[in-house]
Structures are given as structure tokens and as C-alpha cells.
Amino acid sequence: MADDSQAFVDIADTYNLPWTLLPAIACKESGCGRAIPPGSFNAFGWAVYTGQSSGATFGSWAAAIERVGRGLREDYFNRGLDTVPEIETRYTPPSATTHGGWRTHVTMFMNEIEGWPID
């Protein structure tokens, strides 16, 4: 995913999202793209519903970043779900109603990414 790092920034700008949100979700959902269904480019757990082991399939990392960014804008932010705890209620309802681990980890990754030095 590192080769497509600019896509994270560009899509965040396009959809007016926090620039750390998409990579943080990818890190939480798939170990930053390391553990995904083969050939899916789905580092985000996008369209993986409770009880399923796979979800949406994309043609590239950039396509996945764009689709998930657009989905977050349209289905979350435009509907008032614009904080990590609010996003969690729809993105992964079981976590929101039980332990809140998703929001804890996504927030941790966002904070960590925010602190990375920029070359």
C-alpha cells in the first residue's frame, strides 16, 4: 500500500475526510493491507458483513482507497456520522455495542500516523 500513499491524501482531500482516517481503518482491518482476501485489495474490511470472511473486491489499492473514501463521505459523513465512535456504529456495529475496540484502534492508528515525520 505504501506505493499508493498519495492516493490516501488525494482521496481525503477530494472527499473532505481526515487524512489519517483511511489508512487507520486499513491498519485496523487488515494490518495495513497485509492480511486481506487474496486478490481483493480490500484492506478496509469494506462490505464484509458479520459472519462473512470476504467482502468487496477492488482492482487496485487506489481503486479501493477511492471507493471506501467515497463511501465514507456519502454513507457516513453526509449523514452526520463524522467521528470515529459514530462511524463505528455503522461500520462495525458489533464492536460499537460491545467493547468499542474498533474505535479505540482506529483512533490509536490515526494518532500514530499524525505523528509520522514527513520527508
| pLDDT for position 55 | 72
Q: Say how far apart CA 22 and CA 75 lie, in whole Å.
A: 15
Catalogue all structural domains in the chain, each as residue range(s) with its CATH number.
Answer: 2-114 (1.10.530.10)
Nearest CA among 65, 107, 67, 101 for reference residue 83: 107
The answer to whether the CB of 87 falls within 8 A of the CB of 76 is yes
Q: How confident is the model at residue 51 (pLDDT cuts 50, 70, 90)?
A: low
The mean pLDDT value of the chain amounts to 90
First to last CA, the chain: 18
| pLDDT for position 50 | 54
